[in-house]
Amino acid sequence: MRLDPIQRAIDEDLVRVLYAQDPIAFFTHWFSIAVLVAIYWPAVPSPPLFVACFGFYAAANCGSLALWICNRRYPRLASPRGWIVLHAVRGMLLYSAPGLAIWFAFQSPQADLPLLHTVMLVTLAGGVFMSNGFDLLNFSTAIPFLLFPSIVMHFGTHTFDRTILAIVLAFFFCAINVYAMSYRKLFRQVVQARVDQQYLAESLAEQKHVAEEASLAKTRFFAAASHDLRQPLHAIGLLAASLNDTAATPVQHAKTAEHIVYNVEALNQLFNQVLDLARLESGVTQVIRLHFRLAELFERVGSQYRPQAAAKGLALRIAPTAMIVHDDPVLLERVLSNLLSNAVRYTEEGAIWLGVRRAGQAWGGYIEVRDSGIGIPAGEHEQIFEEFYQVANPQRDARQGHGLGLPTVKRLVELLGGELQLRSAPGRGSVFRFPVQAGEAGGIVASLNETAAGGPSTQGRRVLCIDDEPSILEGLASLLARWGCSVRGARDEAAALAVLAQGFVPDAVLCDYQLANHRTGAQALSAVRNALARAGHEGVVTLLITGDMASAELTALALQGIPVLHKPVTPARLRRTLEMLWQQAELDRGRAAAPVSGQRSAPMSGPVTDPALPPASALREANADDEV
C-alpha cells in the first residue's frame, strides 16, 4: 500500500521522536523498578509471582533498549510504519508489568501501598503522555495497561475514598486522552507545515533549475544563430566590397556575384528555418487534416530526393502502400522532406527506405524513414532535437546544415498529435518513425498532385491591397500587375471601403495585419467582406499578411482557418497561395451550385468546418514554406 507523502513524512518524524525519548525512558523504568521493589520489599506478597512480574518488567526494559539500538544502527530494517508498530508492542509489554503489579499492593497488609503504587503509575502515565502522546497506536497501547488494572482494583475495594480515587483515575484517563488528541493534531499540523515548506523549497529549486536551463538554452540558441547569420553576412560584405575593384575582370565580377547570390540564398534559407520554428512555437501553424493516399505523398517527396540520393550512389526505396491516411499533407511533407534530406546527407553508402508499418493496427500505422548511414550515438539522441545542435560540426560549416531540421520535425510531429521516435547507433544507420492515423477512401476529395498542379491563372484578376506602408503597397501593386492583375491600393479600411464604393469588385483582398490608428487587418477585412456581402458579392478571397508571430488574435485567426501569410512572403508563395485560394473558391461555388451528397461546402474565409475538404489544403499552403 502506498502512503500519501504527508502520512509518510508524519511517520518518519514519529519514528524520530518516539525513539529519541527511549534512552530517558530506559532510566525512568529502572528507577520505577527500584522504587516499586523498595516499597514492596518489607513484605513481598506472593514472592515467585512478584519475581516473575518484575523480572518480566526488567526484561521488557532491556528489550526496549535493544530495539532502540536496532533502530539507530539499522534504520532500513523496517519501514517507518514498521518501527512505529514495533515501538507500540514494546510499550505494551513495558507498561503492562507496572500496571498489573498493582495487584501486589492489594495483597499486601500495608494499607498505603495501593496509593503509593498509584502515584507511581500516574507519574509513568505523565511520561507516556509526553513521549508517546503524538502517536495514537503507541499511546493507546500503553496507557490502558498502565491505568485500567489500578482503576478496576480501586473500584473493587467498595470503600468510599478508593471509589473516589478510581473515579479520579478514570477522569484522568479520559482527560489525558483528550489532551493527547489535540497534541496529535498539533503534531500533524507542524509536520504538514514542514512538508509543505520542503515541497515549496524543492519546487522552487526545480523551477530555478528549469529557468537556468532555459536561459542557457537561449544563450546557446543566440550564440549559434548569430554565428550562422553572421557568416554569410560577413561573406556578402567582403564580396560586395570586392565588386568595387576596378582591376577585376568581368569573369571575376561574375564569379563574385555568383558567390553573393549563393550567400544570400543561404541566409534566406536560414531565416526561413528560424521563422518556421518560431511559427511552430507561437502556435499559429494550422493543422488541417485531409483524407489522402499516402503513396501519393511518398512519391512526391521521393521524387524530390531521388536525384540527390542517386548523385551519392544511394538507392531511395519507397515501400508501396495502399494506405489512406487522415493527416495534414503539407505538414507531413515537411516532416518527410526534413528526414529524407538528413538521411541522404548522413549516408555514404547503402540505401534509404521510406515506408509505413501497419502491423494490423486499425487506428493507423507508423511512417518510417530508415537509412544505412553513419548513425547517431545514444548519448546524442536527446540533444539532436535541440535547436542548432549538430553532432559533428564544431566549425559550424553552413554546408552541413544548421541543426534546425530535427527540432522542426519534432515539433511538427507533436503538432500532428504524435511522438517522434529514434533508433540509431554509430555505423548502424538510423530509423526515425512517427504515427499516422488511418483515413477513409470515401473522404478523399482530390489527389494531392492535383492540388499541386496549380490553380487558375492570375491573369485579369482584380486585387485590392490594403497596407499603410506606401512602399509595400507600391511593390505589391507592381508585382500583381506583372502577373496580369488589375490592382487597387488603399492605405486603410476607410480608403478600401471608398474603393469598393466606386464599384471595384475584387477577386482577392490582400491586407497587412498591423494598420495605422491601432486598426488590425482582421478588422479591415471583416469591414470589406461585409461591404461586399451587402452588394451581393460573397466568397471573395481574403488573405492577411503579417510580420507578427505570437499575437493571441493571430492564433485565434489561425484556429478559425483564416488564411494568413507570414512575412517575408516570397512572390512565388504569394502567387501559389492566391491561385489555390481562387481554385478553392471556384470549387466551393461549384459545390454550392450542385451539392454532392455527404459533403459540406466550407466558406473560404470562415472557419474550416470540414477538414476533409480541399479548403484546408489551400489554407494550409498559405502557411507552408516554399523551401523546407
Task: Say how far residue 463 (Cα) sits from the centre of its chain.
Answer: 44
- Mark the segment that binds ligand ADP (CB under 6 A) among 61-69, 93-101, 393-401, 494-502: 393-401
C-beta of 308 vs 393, nearer to ligand ADP? 393
CB-based contact 518:494 (threshold 8 Å): no
Determine if 403 is a binding residue for ligand ADP (CB under 6 A): yes
Minimal distance in Å, beta carbon 258 to ligand ADP?
24
DSSP 374: S
Q: Which long-range contacts (CB under 8 A, 24 or more apart) does 216-221 make?
A: 217/386, 217/387, 220/386, 220/388, 221/387, 221/388
One of 264, 391, 495, 527 touching ligand ADP (CB under 6 A): 391
Edge-to-edge order in the sheet of strand 421-424: 315-318, 351-357, 364-371, 430-437, 421-424
Minimal distance in Å, beta carbon 269 to ligand ADP?
10
Determine if 84 is a binding residue for ligand ADP (CB under 6 A): no
In this structure, the strands spanning 364-371 and 351-357 are: antiparallel
What is the phi-psi region of residue 517: left when phi exceeds 0, alpha when psi lies from -120 to 50, beta otherwise?
left
Determine if 274 is a binding residue for ligand ADP (CB under 6 A): no
CB-based contact 344:311 (threshold 8 Å): no
Closest-approach residue to ligand ADP (CB)? 401
C-beta of 371 vs 512, nearer to ligand ADP? 371
In the structure grid, which three cell numbers stand for residue 405, read together?
A: 531540421
Minimal distance in Å, beta carbon 210 to ligand ADP?
23
- Mark the segment that binds ligand ADP (CB under 6 A) among 207-215, 264-272, 399-407, 470-478: 399-407
List all residues 6 or more positions away from 51 whose beta carbon is below 8 Å from its beta carbon: none
Minimal distance in Å, beta carbon 433 to ligand ADP?
12
Identity of the amino acid at 336: L
Q: Give start and end residues of each alpha helix (H) in 535-614.
A: 552-560, 571-593
Minimal distance in Å, beta carbon 300 to ligand ADP?
20
C-beta of 86 vs 352, nearer to ligand ADP? 352
Rounded-to-integer distance, Cα 36 and Cα 50, Å: 11
Rounded-to-integer distance, Cα 428 and Cα 422, Å: 13
Nearest Cα to 303, choosing from 330, 332, 270, 337? 337
List all residues 6 or more positions away from 362 whose beta carbon is below 8 Å from its beta carbon: 438
One of 135, 276, 371, 507 touching ligand ADP (CB under 6 A): 371
Rounded-to-integer distance, Cα 377 and Cα 380, Å: 6
Determine if 260 is a binding residue for ligand ADP (CB under 6 A): no
Determine if 108 is a binding residue for ligand ADP (CB under 6 A): no
In this structure, the strands spanning 430-437 and 421-424 are: antiparallel
Minimal distance in Å, beta carbon 270 to ligand ADP?
10
Determine if 33 is a binding residue for ligand ADP (CB under 6 A): no
Determine if 402 is a binding residue for ligand ADP (CB under 6 A): yes
In the structure grid, which three cell numbers stand for residue 253, read together?
A: 565580377
C-beta of 405 vs 539, nearer to ligand ADP? 405
Determine if 376 is a binding residue for ligand ADP (CB under 6 A): yes
Minimal distance in Å, beta carbon 395 to ligand ADP?
12
Looking at residues 324 to 343 of the shown chain, list those that interact with ligand ADP (rule: CB under 6 A).
Answer: 342-343
- Mark the segment that binds ligand ADP (CB under 6 A) among 59-67, 249-257, 396-404, 524-532: 396-404
Rounded-to-integer distance, Cα 269 and Cα 35, Å: 94
Determine if 405 is a binding residue for ligand ADP (CB under 6 A): yes
One of 10, 340, 404, 554 touching ligand ADP (CB under 6 A): 404
Looking at residues 430 to 489 of the shown chain, list those that interact with ligand ADP (rule: CB under 6 A).
Answer: 430
Rounded-to-integer distance, Cα 143 and Cα 136, Å: 11
C-beta of 369 vs 464, nearer to ligand ADP? 369
One of 384, 540, 581, 628 touching ligand ADP (CB under 6 A): 384
One of 373, 539, 611, 614 touching ligand ADP (CB under 6 A): 373
Minimal distance in Å, beta carbon 387 to ligand ADP?
8
Task: Say how far residue 589 (Cα) sits from the centre of its chain.
Answer: 43
Minimal distance in Å, beta carbon 412 to ligand ADP?
12
Give the residues lining the site for ligand ADP (CB under 6 A).
342-343, 346, 371, 373-376, 384, 390-393, 400-407, 430
